[in-house]
Amino acid sequence: MIEINLIEQKKKFKAPVVLGIDLGKLPWKKLLISYLIATYPVSFLDDHFKEEIAKEELELTALNKKYQALRREIKKNENIKAQLLAFNEQIEKLKTRTEQVDKIIKAKTNPRYVLEKIARSTPDNVWFENLVIDPENNILIEGGTDSYTSIGEFIVNLNESPYFGRTLQLSDSKTEEEIYQGETFRVEKFSIKGKVEVFDPFTQGR
């Protein structure tokens, strides 16, 4: 049996050739995309760059925060450094003052001038057996003489000086007999107490 298809077959569309260009071989998809970009460039690029700019601004904001934090930290450290320098200066000044005060205290508690005054005020017939100045500046003078009046003279001379502030008093006295080279002598033993008010009158009030 022979069958014949009498229905007309559809022929493939063949693009025409224009000015020597075969339109069927052109990349229409790419051309369409290019056309769209060329037609609407502003909105497309604007959205793209807005996103990029937003990202950059976020990074810039974060970096700026770090920068400000670093500046505050540096300033804080500078303040600490300045405080340490000022503290060290105060320590040095305090050391200097302490040294000066120590010198003044040593000068005011040096018994040199007091002992010189006692030596100059001692009558020729008076001798010492004990002389003590304690940490509270109390003074004790123990000794003897062959004349009771010499004890009074000695106390008056010392009390007239600025060293003792008229605090010296006869606290004890007694008469004893001593033998020297076979002879018996009468001796007045005494004990004087008082207080050293000034060790160095030249530094008083400084």
Helix (H) or strand (E) holding 45: helix 41-109
CA 163 – CA 106 distance, rounded (Å): 16
CB 147 within 8 Å of CB 134: no
pTM for this structure? Answer: 0.48
- 109-140 confidence digits (pLDDT tens): 678 888 889 999 999 999 999 999 888 889 99
CB 173 within 8 Å of CB 188: yes
- 37-58 confidence digits (pLDDT tens): 555 555 555 565 567 677 777 8
Q: Which CATH architecture has domain 112-201?
A: 2-Layer Sandwich (3.30)
Full DSSP string of 134-180: -TT-EEEEEEEES-HHHHHHHHHHHHTSTTTTT--EEEEEEEEEEEE
Domain ranges of the chain: 112-201
